[in-house]
């Protein structure tokens, strides 16, 4: 099977006036259709840079990035490829003068996809995250967890095949975060999206993922890949399972080794 997304020996170098910064060095990864893959690592390891290279915000300095077998060679993604991708970042960045429903509709207007069928999808997605009662509310009138839900479904409104999620629940309290993780898994099961999820929370990585890529710093690089062989559907009850704990300990140990390696 051809990977939906592939990185082959990708390096990203930023050139500043007085220094050269290697943000990511020799990074390789494959993600197949319908997979849920997570990238973990300490701050500054290049996790977000990987996402930004994939979505075309910043081109790689070296190596190849392929989406459905096409290598864009550092060029901006074409419109049809962009339509395959939904972006969910750390802050939902909702427009305060638009209602919840209008914020969800916004990508359809930007992409000229505001068809009756897609309008029906707006309502389906709002129902999926139990926000029908808040469809006419403004962002300031709903909780942080609710605005994050809106950010997730807004990224899905044009029915992309790929979701890129950069620590989307990192600013939330633990209870809300766990609830949204379970809702995300339900959405993933129902839609069969291909997901790349970035986090520094190892329990979150084990709960969500089929495979975890562990990165290190100075420079940002891949140090290990851990396959998560736990049954699905996943549940919060698994957190106390011996195998779950073993995976979190393994990832914590890897990241701990990374931190220790920085001590001179």
DSSP secondary structure letters along 117-168:
HHHHHHHHHHHHTT-GGGTT--GGGS-HHHHHHHHHHHHHTT--SEEEEEST
Of the listed ranges 70-79, 168-177, 196-205, 215-224, the one predicted with least confidence: 70-79
pLDDT more than 70, % of the chain: 96
Fold that domain 1-64+74-84+161-264 belongs to in CATH: Rossmann fold (3.40.50)
Of the listed ranges 69-78, 152-161, 241-250, the one predicted with least confidence: 69-78
pLDDT in tens, 197-238: 999 899 999 999 999 999 999 899 999 999 999 999 999 999
* CA distances in angstroms from 224 to 220, 244, 254, listed in the order given: 13, 18, 8
| pLDDT at position 22 | 93
| pLDDT at position 258 | 46
Average pLDDT value for residue range 120-130: 91
**Closest CA relative to residue 129, chosen from 187, 88, 86:** 187
| pLDDT at position 54 | 87
**pLDDT at residue 123 is higher than 90:** yes
Average pLDDT value for residue range 142-170: 91
Domain boundaries, the chain: 1-64+74-84+161-264, 94-160
Alpha carbons within 13 angstroms on the beta-carbon side of residue 134 total 21
- The residue with tokens 């290598």 is 71
Residue 176 vs residue 65, higher pLDDT: 65
DSSP secondary structure letters along 193-221:
-EEEEEES-HHHHHHH-SEEEEEETTTBE
| pLDDT at position 82 | 81
pLDDT more than 90, % of the chain: 62
In whole angstroms, give the CA distance from residue 170 to residue 12. Answer: 25
- The residue with tokens 């209602």 is 99
- The residue with tokens 């309008």 is 119
Of the listed ranges 9-23, 26-40, 96-110, 248-262, the one predicted with least confidence: 248-262
b/e per residue 181-218 (b: at least 16 CB within 10 A): bbbbbebbeebebbbbbbbbbbbbbbbbbbbbbbbbbe
- The residue with tokens 């559907």 is 233
pTM: 0.89
| pLDDT at position 249 | 95
Average pLDDT value for residue range 122-140: 93
Give yes or no for a contact between 41 and 200, defined as CB atoms under 8 angstroms apart. yes
Give yes or no for a contact between 39 and 198, defined as CB atoms under 8 angstroms apart. yes
| pLDDT at position 255 | 85
**pLDDT at residue 259 is higher than 60:** no
| pLDDT at position 73 | 65
Give me 109's structure tokens. 């207007």
Residue 112 vs residue 137, higher pLDDT: 137
Helices 174-191 and 144-156 cross at an angle (nearest 10°) of: 20
**pLDDT at residue 263 is higher than 60:** no
Q: What is the mean pLDDT of the chain?
A: 89
| pLDDT at position 74 | 64
């Amino acid at each position: 099977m051809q990977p939906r997304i592939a990185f082959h020996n990708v390096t990203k170098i930023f050139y500043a006036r007085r220094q050269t910064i290697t943000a990511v060095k020799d990074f390789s990864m494959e993600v197949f259709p319908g997979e849920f893959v997570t990238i973990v690592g300490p701050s500054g390891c290049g996790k977000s840079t990987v996402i930004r290279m994939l979505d075309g915000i910043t081109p790689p300095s070296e190596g190849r990035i392929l989406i459905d077998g096409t290598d864009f060679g550092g060029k901006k993604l074409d419109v049809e490829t962009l339509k395959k991708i939904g972006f969910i970042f750390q802050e939902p960045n909702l427009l305060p003068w638009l209602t919840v429903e209008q914020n969800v509709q916004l990508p359809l207007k930007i992409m000229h996809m505001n068809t009756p069928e897609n309008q029906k999808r707006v309502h389906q997605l709002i129902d999926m995250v139990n926000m029908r009662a808040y469809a006419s509310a403004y962002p300031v009138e709903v909780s942080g967890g609710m605005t994050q839900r809106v950010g997730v479904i807004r990224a899905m409104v044009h029915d992309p095949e790929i979701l890129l999620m950069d620590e989307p629940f990192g600013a939330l309290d633990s209870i809300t975060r766990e609830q949204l993780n379970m809702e995300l898994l339900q959405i993933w099961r129902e839609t069969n999206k291909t997901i790349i999820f970035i986090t520094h929370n190892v329990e979150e990585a084990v709960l969500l993922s089929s495979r975890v890529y562990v990165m290190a710093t100075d420079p940002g690089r891949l140090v290990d890949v851990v396959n998560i062989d736990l049954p699905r559907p996943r549940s919060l009850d698994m957190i106390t399972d011996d195998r779950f704990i073993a995976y979190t300990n393994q990832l914590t140990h890897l990241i701990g080794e990374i931190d220790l390696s920085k001590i001179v």
